[in-house]
Amino acid sequence: MPLIRREPPKPAEPAGADLRQAAAVLRSGGAQERWHAARSLAAEPEAAGILGDALATEQDPRVREAIFTSLTRLASADSVEAIIPHLHSDDAGLRSGALDALREMITAVRPRLPALLGDPDPDIRVLCCDLVRELAAAEATDLLCGVLEGDPEPNVCGAAIDVLAEIGTPAALPALDRCAARFREEGFLTFAIKVAAERIAAQGTGC
């Protein structure tokens, strides 16, 4: 029987080529193609930057959701860095999606929270106080006490106080007192601090 000559197997296409192809589709494909491309990158650790770039121009809500979903499934430091810039977006839907995505992968976000709580933009600091809500109570209290001690904006401190009123530990009480002294002329903040302190104290006594 004559020998049948077999063709050597074709080398697998490098992963980089797949990433380049997906990036091209995300830039110029139809909505359904972009959706598929975004979903296909959920298991590609090196795709976070591509997905983050796509968010800057994507207008289709379904495709945008697929991008955020893939980034949260990656849940890497690169995913976090790809999403953070979109907290500054003028698009309220994009800002909200970015915040929700960061909330979904809070473990990966945790190392960046101190810097986010010190962002030059007070609106970002307000948003990130809400992210702290996802942490364990003791860790959240520690971070938010730092806000109460040093943030110059009453609205940012107000956001921190709202979270502390829900999950704060008694360790927050001295910082709340000092914050009240710093903003004694801000009636809304004084009231919020009083309510938060009462709730925390009641929790501490088991009431």
Final residue in a domain of this structure, among 110, 143, 169:
110
**Do 171 and 133 belong together in one domain?**
yes
Question: Domain range spanning residue 164?
Answer: 117-207
Kindly state whether residue 5 falls inside one of the protein's structural domains.
no
- pLDDT at res. 204: 60
- pLDDT at res. 38: 96
From first to last of the 207 residues of the chain, give the pLDDT tens digit: 444 445 444 443 334 558 999 999 999 999 999 999 999 999 899 999 999 999 999 999 999 999 999 999 999 999 999 999 999 999 999 999 999 999 999 999 999 999 999 999 999 999 999 999 999 999 999 999 999 999 999 999 999 999 999 999 999 999 999 999 999 999 999 999 999 999 999 886 543
Maximum separation of any 2 CA atoms in the chain, in Å: 99
- pLDDT at res. 146: 97
Total domains in the fold of the chain:
2
Burial class (CB in 10 A: 0-12, 13-18, 19+), 198: exposed
**Do 105 and 125 belong together in one domain?**
no
CB 170 within 8 A of CB 140: no
Kindly state whether residue 1 falls inside one of the protein's structural domains.
no
Kindly state whether residue 8 falls inside one of the protein's structural domains.
no
